[in-house]
Structure 1
């Protein structure tokens, strides 16, 4: 007996086939997400929802090609972004992804759209969050006339797999849209009213793991799970004593807490409190940069090579990783602040490179400086967590290709955090977590 998990990522769509009893991954499939849409607006980041759906169908088909008995299908995917659907469940807009920056556009001389929404509702808000995107669209007449609901891309895929016409959402994805009370586990209706947002556009909320329908040949489909929570479920050996670092396009640190510790996290600043499936919360520090900073450096090196030699290198990541392995810490280290893409609290923040001297202006020092900066930003979030949560930590679990393929980065993280580092077998942690969610929904597992 088996379970399937699908992960609708920003750059790829992944799937995992798990042996249900042991949770061992039998097979994984990854296809590129080629749904990105060109835009004349530099701040717009959108993808074609129908293209994503077709890719997800292809991944599922490949996973089922050996006719293994499947008990349930779970879905996760990139959070915060939204698309609109009509009454028949058809997408009537592109997916506006979490990278979309329309929330940073000026609402007035005093505030951006995200800032204005925060003022109206007294909820923190950042560009890329679904409610900030919808608020901009609403104010500028960009909500499609036929829109009946908005939802995340994972909820859209789950809806279509389950043969539904209206999306459903669980607390882990709902909280990622914004204007959501994580203590009461519901959208804040008063806040929605203050922003003149029609609550009727929001999908109905159901508990995490709820079976929302079946595919055509009868396999149950569980409601989609937020990718942060899914990665945590699929990666850590013990929920209460593990620190999870995920470094992909962005990066984030996640730690479980039984209690809703809003006062401590609000005092620290920069820590999100997100519902965890089955109860409790994840305390999350999320960076907009992460792997994007390393990609920025790789692109710079490629442009230098092309400009001086005419050679068009396809990828330099393996070479950069080897150079990072050979480079050791010394007194001439470059100090690199890798917040090149801003932060959720300060979208206009930018990175810096300090301490340049004749001894360290080398490719190797620059690569290591970037890795130290990426790791240091995550360690900074860790220091903001409540002491009671940090004292419980026993292991540092890392996931995402940005760290899985980079031994130098793993050693830097282990040194900065002072915890033994664990690398989960097989990868595809988010897909694995989605499959586990389906197992809970089907009654195979007693709880999350």
Structure 2
């Protein structure tokens, strides 16, 4: 490794792009940030896929943008990846088909089949802590068996997106508990694979044989020499365990101890908290995931956040970068417009076949500003609906840590503060998942070098909030949104009746 101050790389392999941050912990500075866009293969049946090679090409492009001196100083890499994707490998490590992604709803029928085989949704929660929802990895296996039998016949290893990047970097196959809990197969209470859920997915195959070993959150592996040379990195670089993007965003926003609520406003929207014990809801009101820090991460996920605002911006012919000016003159409640932003179906509530809709239109309120605001409000209300479930379970929070692309909008930050009636903080490093990857890499490096450093200590020392972007609830807006939110819930109730998934035969 170079004699220069060591740098720690966080890679976030998202749906829309790959992002790289290079962090210098000695100076507490991000010294470089690079990104590379990704394409998406979208089908009318709800399928959403990407070629795994696109991720690798984008990662190589991001490293190529780093100054050679910075590349020479890299000590460790932590990879964050979009959750739930399915990357099928053959025995030689070759990718057999495009990766089906988290927002792929074409397998909703397979979700029902797995849960029926497991004894119903409630029994899935009993067995593993979670039902099998649209997008979860488990449902992609029977879909592949039906629609790509030649792929299923050659299947040797099941990897998640961030696992595949780790495999490319190191030549080794592993999973860590946080991302693994998003497959639907991991019993989150015991942190072991549920044999019953695996059998419900394929009774004729021992799927455990296709799953790589599970490793602890502070584990690390050596980079493959050929990949180090290809990227211009030292050969002694280590690769941390990595994790799902929500788990890495928890680290990057300092959500590594109970009491903090993180909200991510990206393609999807998420709310998540930290717990020292499993937090399982028998009614499946949230995802009962493990964290990538050794604990648990109860999580609410909605599938349509910036998707909604981007679609409206495209419809009206403006860029979402100009959204703040478009919103000028609009007020909380969008003059009575209410949007259910279910462009990709929805996960929370579980409505994989739902579609977006706009309500309350009249001759005066149908303006681009109001429609854009209704999209933003609808995405925020959807998250608030999930938050209500966490609160009903007795959880309480003092602050919201906001991350993701939507956190760059002053209007959206204030909207979140008002809809949730909680103060909002934005970490200085807005790309929480990539920064979380860098901090996990730092943690793995410290542990690999014999230092008993905790992730809580690292987060305390390195995660800072930007005071200039903080937002506090406005009492008048809080009261207005309380009324408008009830209207959203009324329309949501109608949508739940219209798009209800097949009933659970075990209930």
Q: What is residue 107 of structure 1 aligned with on the other side? A: none
Deviation at 1:298, TM superposition (A): 1.7
What is the alpha-carbon distance in structure 2 between the residues aligned to residue 127 and residue 212 of structure 1?
32
What is the alpha-carbon distance in structure 2 between the residues aligned to residue 327 and residue 292 of structure 1?
21
2:211 counterpart (186, 189, 202): 202
What is the alpha-carbon distance in structure 2 between the residues aligned to residue 241 and residue 386 of structure 1?
12
Q: What is residue 220 of structure 1 aligned with on the other side? A: 238
Equivalences for residues 149-164 of structure 1 within 5 A: 149-164=157-172
Asked whether the 8 Å contact 2:104–2:134 carries over to 1, the reply is: yes
What is the alpha-carbon distance in structure 2 between the residues aligned to residue 43 and residue 366 of structure 1?
25
Deviation at 1:22, TM superposition (A): 5.7
Q: Which has the higher helix share?
A: 2
Deviation at 1:30, TM superposition (A): 0.6
What is the alpha-carbon distance in structure 2 between the residues aligned to residue 138 and residue 434 of structure 1?
34
1:233 counterpart (251, 260, 270): 251
Asked whether the 8 Å contact 1:16–1:63 carries over to 2, the reply is: no
**SS at 2:31's partner residue?**
strand
**SS at 2:65's partner residue?**
helix
Deviation at 1:330, TM superposition (A): 6.4
Stretches of structure 2 lacking an aligned partner (at least 5 in a row):
1-5, 125-130, 226-234, 456-507
TM-score, length basis structure 1: 0.87
TM-score, length basis structure 2: 0.78
1:111-146 superposed Cα distances (whole Å, 9 cap, x missing partner)? x21101111124211222111011211244253443
Q: What is residue 271 of structure 1 aligned with on the other side? A: 286
2:105 counterpart (101, 106, 111): 101
What is the alpha-carbon distance in structure 1 between the residues aligned to residue 346 and residue 334 of structure 2?
29
What is the alpha-carbon distance in structure 2 between the residues aligned to residue 63 and residue 186 of structure 1?
39
Asked whether the 8 Å contact 2:48–2:101 carries over to 1, the reply is: yes
Count the aligned residue pairs: 420
Residues 331/132 of structure 1: CA separation in 2 closer, same or farther (3 Å cut): closer
Asked whether the 8 Å contact 1:15–1:63 carries over to 2, the reply is: no
Q: What is residue 301 of structure 1 aligned with on the other side? A: 316
**SS at 2:20's partner residue?**
strand
Asked whether the 8 Å contact 1:325–1:408 carries over to 2, the reply is: no
What is the alpha-carbon distance in structure 2 between the residues aligned to residue 329 and residue 386 of structure 1?
24
Asked whether the 8 Å contact 1:278–1:447 carries over to 2, the reply is: no
What is the alpha-carbon distance in structure 2 between the residues aligned to residue 44 and residue 238 of structure 1?
34
What is the alpha-carbon distance in structure 2 between the residues aligned to residue 145 and residue 69 of structure 1?
43
What is the alpha-carbon distance in structure 2 between the residues aligned to residue 245 and residue 286 of structure 1?
10
Deviation at 1:386, TM superposition (A): 4.3
Q: CA RMSD in A?
A: 2.2
Deviation at 1:247, TM superposition (A): 1.1
1:413 counterpart (385, 403, 416): 416
Moved beyond 4 Å, runs of 4+: 386-389
1:124-172 superposed Cα distances (whole Å, 9 cap, x missing partner)? 11222111011211244253443210101211111111133xx210011
Asked whether the 8 Å contact 1:325–1:407 carries over to 2, the reply is: no
Deviation at 1:237, TM superposition (A): 6.6
What is the alpha-carbon distance in structure 2 between the residues aligned to residue 277 and residue 330 of structure 1?
38
What is the alpha-carbon distance in structure 2 between the residues aligned to residue 415 and residue 212 of structure 1?
44
2:141 counterpart (134, 146, 156): 134
Asked whether the 8 Å contact 2:248–2:292 carries over to 1, the reply is: no
Asked whether the 8 Å contact 1:248–1:400 carries over to 2, the reply is: yes
2:78 counterpart (74, 93, 96): 74
1:160-213 superposed Cα distances (whole Å, 9 cap, x missing partner)? 11133xx21001111111122111112101221233242211121111131122
What is the alpha-carbon distance in structure 2 between the residues aligned to residue 13 and residue 218 of structure 1?
24
Deviates most, 434-443 or 333-342: 333-342
Residues 331/194 of structure 1: CA separation in 2 closer, same or farther (3 Å cut): closer
Q: What is residue 31 of structure 1 aligned with on the other side? A: 36
1:395 aligns with 2:399: yes
Q: What is residue 260 of structure 1 aligned with on the other side? A: 278
